[in-house]
């Protein structure tokens, strides 16, 4: 893992606090053309980005494990994640491991095709890779919010139908 020195921090945009760090990390992913839910980190302490080199780091309070429900893959995020970002790609990634056949394997690169084909590719150091739909890495919070909205709308429609049924029965 690369050391984040004071010299490096001086060249970088650095943010502190969970809310702003989540917002900035998602914004950065979106800016480089990657799914915003790719790094579902919690309790982020610090995010830094050196624009001239593309170097980025994220620090969180504790290691977390997240399962991307749509593909059933578990991914572990360490307390410090570092990488170089460029258009549609994260390279020299550290601090992220994926579970494959009960073994945790370090990911070193994540990329999407440009123009978009709807596929995200994760590579390990040996060059082996797996490809998944990018939709599996969209923000789950947004999906849950949309699901709740649809559910509320369907309940409203059901209550309207029930009210109309009562009016007809009363008449």
Do residues 38 and 57 share a domain? Answer: yes
Domain range for 149: 141-171
Band of pLDDT at residue 150, cut at 50, 70 and 90: very low
Q: Are residues 16 and 40 in the same domain?
A: yes
Nearest to 133 by CA among 123, 115, 120: 120
Look at residue 7 in the predicted model and tell me its pLDDT.
Answer: 84
Judge if 145 and 134 occupy the same domain: no
User: Looking at the structure, do residues 95 and 164 belong to the same domain, yes or no?
Assistant: no
Please report which confidence band the pLDDT of residue 10 belongs to, taking 50, 70 and 90 as the band edges. confident
Non-local (6+) Cβ contacts of 105 within 8 A are: 97, 98, 99, 124
Number of domains comprising the chain: 2
Measured in whole angstroms, the distance separating CA 138 from the mean position of its chain's CA atoms is: 7
Q: Are the CB atoms for 107 and 124 separated by under 8 Å?
A: yes
The predicted pLDDT at position 169 comes to 56
Average pLDDT over residues 29-58: 94
Give residue 147's pLDDT band: very low, low, confident or very high (50, 70, 90). very low
Confidence of residue 19 (pLDDT cuts 50, 70, 90): very high
pLDDT of residue 117: 84
* 98/152 same-domain check: no
pLDDT surpassing 90 at residue 145: no
Res. 164: pLDDT tops 70: no
Rounded to an integer, what distance in angstroms lies between the CA atom of residue 45 and that of residue 118? 31
- Report if residue 168 sits inside a domain: yes
Q: What is the mean pLDDT of the segment spanning 100-114?
A: 93
The angle subtended at Cα 157 by Cα 154 and Cα 158, nearest 5°, is 85
**pLDDT category of residue 159 using cuts at 50, 70 and 90:** low
* Average pLDDT score over residue span 127-150: 72
Write out the two tokens for 25. 């990390």
Q: Per mean pLDDT, which range of 30-39, 42-51, 75-84, 108-117 is the poorest?
A: 108-117
62 and 50 housed in the same domain = yes
Give residue 66's Cα distance to chain centre. 10
Question: How many residues can be counted in the chain?
Answer: 171
Residues 123, 154, single domain; the answer is no
Domain contains 1 = no
Specify the pLDDT at position 26. Answer: 95
């Amino acid at each position: 893992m690369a050391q984040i020195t004071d010299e490096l921090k001086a060249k970088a945009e650095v943010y502190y606090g969970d809310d702003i760090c989540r917002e900035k990390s998602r914004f950065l992913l979106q800016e480089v053309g990657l799914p915003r839910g790719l790094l579902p980190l919690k309790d982020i302490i610090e995010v830094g980005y050196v624009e001239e080199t593309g170097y980025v780091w994220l620090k969180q309070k504790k290691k977390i494990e997240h399962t991307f429900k749509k593909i059933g893959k578990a991914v572990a995020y360490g307390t410090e994640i570092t990488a170089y970002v460029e258009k549609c790609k994260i390279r020299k990634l550290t601090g992220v491991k994926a579970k494959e056949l009960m073994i945790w394997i370090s990911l070193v690169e994540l990329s999407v095709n440009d123009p978009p084909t709807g596929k995200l590719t994760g590579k390990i150091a040996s060059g082996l890779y797996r490809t998944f739909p990018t939709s599996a890495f969209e923000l789950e919070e947004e999906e849950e919010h949309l699901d709740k909205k649809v559910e509320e709308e369907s309940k409203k429609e059901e209550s309207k139908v029930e009210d109309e049924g009562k009016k007809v029965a009363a008449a």
